[in-house]
Amino acid sequence: MAMVVDESTDAKYDRQDEAYFGYYSMLTHQAQMLQDSVRTSAYQMSIMQHALPYFANQTVMDVGAGNGILSLFALQAGAKLVFAVEASTMVEHLHHLVRAAHAQDGDSAPNMWTRDRLAVVHARVEDVTPGMLREAAPIPVEPRVDTIVSECLGVLLVHERMCETLLEARDRFLKPDGAVFPRVGILCFSLLNDARMWQEVRARGEWWNTTDFYGIDLTPFVDAARAEAFASPVVGCFSPVHVIGTTPDGADTDSAVCRYMMDFSTISMRDLREFDVPLAFDCIDEATVVHGLGAWFDLSFLQADDHPGIYDAEQNYMTTSPFAPPTHWAQVRLFFPEPLALNAGQKVFGTLHFCANKNRSYDIQADIYVPFGDDQGAQQALYRRQAWWKLDKQTYSWETM
């Protein structure tokens, strides 16, 4: 099935932008993200650990600043100036924070340590100009920054397509030797055994398989309803017992989890908008049924030239996996319309094709197969499953059974 990458970067807000930025303009939603201690602590620790040389006395840009928490962390780490770039009306609260820091003399003003160090820019990064940065800055400064920090992440990392905004800022405003936080995003996939949730998804389509709903035959809707149900990823935390080939404590994940790395300091816009994730699972140690894929993402804040003796790798890593404390991103279940029954020793291979769509998200096409033997490729498949998912059509389940 051919996919067309949406590369539109229209400078004007459309209705999707209004709804998207409207959501993030609410303090209630901002509070939910701040209360995600895994997320907030990971950013805070990595910024503080990298105060030298990436933040102290440096010019920083916070892309999609929201409530400004990352801007404030950067200032706590000693940044000379932070540009807080935010497109939503959350900037009204950021301006109030700046005004409050100047409202009183002496040491009684809230966050007075931000005085003349925080520049709020109300615009999408795509619309920001060097002149806007100069005008916003409380001190004379060139419109190029030493460090970019951003929490530009959606469900499964790429939903909402805000990673593109990070790359836009990097290409236009980051100095050649500048740093990006986080530097690496990692998509993670596992084989999933989850009969109860698979049956629930199946039931959404099968509900239409009736010939007498108040005297009406609904069966003409069945095929579309079935396809829609299985094309809708299920977002929500799931128990690690559903991950095939590991133990609940996350042991043996090397053979059970496939990872795809995105280096935000170097990846191109084209490679972010369309890419293939190779899958290879050698973790079937007993007969099982594969109902689909489990998916989540990790982040690394370590920079390419970080010395391992100075920077703690664990404190500069964040995971949203089912083996770790939950985050507001949760995990994603991608179900096959037809489960895959496997015996011990069989291996699973395949490819996930990600392609950006016009709904601030991605279409995902899967080609999964089990070969006859170790030396057989995709053309000699014993079993094959193909599936399609639309990440913007996600449904939700908050049960962790």
pLDDT in tens, 140-181: 999 999 999 999 899 999 999 999 999 999 999 999 999 999
Could you give the domains of the chain? Answer: 15-104+112-151 (3.40.50.150), 186-396 (2.70.160.11)
Identified catalytic residue from 7, 92, 135, 160? 160
Q: pLDDT band at residue 30, thresholds of 50, 70 and 90?
A: confident
Q: Does the pLDDT of residue 400 top 70, yes or no? A: no
Q: Does the pLDDT of residue 41 top 90, yes or no? A: yes
Identified catalytic residue from 18, 86, 151, 274? 151
Q: H/E/C letters for each residue in 241-281?
A: HHECCCCCCCCCHHHHEEEEEEECCCCCHHHHHEEEEEEEE
Instruction: List Cβ neighbours of 171 (8 Å cut-off, separation of 6 or more).
Output: 269
Place of tokens 């299985």: 230
pLDDT in tens, 327-354: 999 999 999 999 999 999 999 999 999 9
Across the chain, mean pLDDT equals: 91
Q: Which of 183-192, 231-240, 308-317 has the lowest mean pLDDT?
A: 308-317
Tokens of 282: 């050698």
pLDDT, residue 17, reads: 72
Average pLDDT over residues 13-23: 65
> Per the confidence metrics, is the pTM higher than 0.85?
yes
Is 151 part of the annotated catalytic residue set? yes
pLDDT in tens, 229-288: 999 999 999 999 999 999 888 877 888 999 999 999 999 999 999 999 999 999 999 999
Average pLDDT over residues 17-33: 78
Is 135 part of the annotated catalytic residue set? no
pLDDT, residue 249, reads: 82
